[in-house]
Structure 1
Amino acid sequence: MLKLTYTESSFDLECVTLSLEEWIAQRVIFALRVGQGLSIEPTTASFLLPVYLPGVEVLRSEVKRDDRKIIALCACDAEYIEVTLRGSWLSANSKDSVGVFVTIMSDRAEFFLQKLWHEAQSCASVMSE
């Protein structure tokens, strides 16, 4: 399962070994125990990747093989592509922009996407120094 955590200032992307159903069940139980509201909605989430990253072409071929249409790519400009994923949004309420987005794809696609995202973060931190 791929998990994207959105905060007020950034987001984090990670692979989780739990099944989607098991992870959501744990989140629901946690919310009940702490008395927190929880909204779960099917939706999409997007983030940008630099087009120059080694492996972007491999990602494009993975997208073409995806029969379930979980992932889509769109050129933003000459430097970035937008990665859009279909999945579920979990937050305190349905209008909240802080929360967690989860989706499932093949293990290979999840780990590859995570690798590209981490490479993009590394490149961004080097460029800002």
Structure 2
Amino acid sequence: MLKLTYTDMGLYLERLAQSPEELVARRAILALRMSQNLHLEPSRAAFLLPADLPELPILEAAIRREGKAIALCSVCDDYVEVSLRGMWIAPEVDAHEGIFVAVMSDRLEFLLHKLWQVSQTQVSFLL
């Protein structure tokens, strides 16, 4: 499972071994104990990857073979948008901060996580 955490500081993507059901159950228990709201909704999430990543053709081929919950779209010469289908988990309906979880094949999850990590390394060198 891929977990995308959206905060006011940006996006963090991680790959988890647990199922979405386990994550939601733990979040529900935490919200209950903290007397907080919990909003769950089927949704889509997107993030950008640099278009010049050498492994991007491998990701494109994997998506063609096995990617029903993922799409790539070129948004400009420099970036491609990765769009995922999954579940949005947040404290409120209109929250801009929260987590998004998506399940796909292990290969796709691994490739996406790897490419995102590489893109973050490239960005940190530019700062």
Q: TM-score range by the shorter chain?
A: over 0.9
Residue aligning to 2:21:
21
Aligned partners of 2:31 and 2:109: how far apart in 1?
A: 27
Residue aligning to 2:98:
99
Q: Hey, which bits of structure 1, 4+ residues long, moved more than 2 A?
A: none
- Amino acid corresponding to residue 57 of structure 1 in structure 2: P
Count of residues in correspondence between the two structures? 127
TM-score (norm 1): 0.95
For 1:42-86, what per-residue CA distance to the aligned partner results, in whole angstroms no more than 9, with x for missing partners?
A: 00000000011121001101111125x200000000110000000
User: In angstroms, what is the RMSD of aligned CA positions?
Assistant: 0.9
Unaligned runs of 5+ in 2: none
Residue aligning to 1:74:
73
Residue aligning to 1:35:
35
Residue aligning to 2:58:
58
- Amino acid corresponding to residue 34 of structure 1 in structure 2: M
Unaligned runs of 5+ in 1: none
For 1:69-126, what per-residue CA distance to the aligned partner results, in whole angstroms no more than 9, with x for missing partners?
A: 2000000001100000000000011100000000101111111100000000000111
Aligned partners of 2:9 and 2:19: how far apart in 1?
A: 28
TM-score (norm 2): 0.97
- Amino acid corresponding to residue 127 of structure 1 in structure 2: L
Q: Percent identity?
A: 46
Aligned partners of 1:108 and 1:115: how far apart in 2?
A: 11
The farther-off stretch of 83-92 and 103-112 is 103-112
- Amino acid corresponding to residue 107 of structure 1 in structure 2: D
Instruction: Give the secondary-structure state (helix, strand or coil) at the position aligned to 1:28.
Output: helix
Aligned partners of 2:98 and 2:6: how far apart in 1?
A: 5
- Amino acid corresponding to residue 40 of structure 1 in structure 2: L
Aligned partners of 1:50 and 1:32: how far apart in 2?
A: 40
Aligned partners of 1:54 and 1:105: how far apart in 2?
A: 22
Residue aligning to 2:126:
127
Residue aligning to 1:48:
48
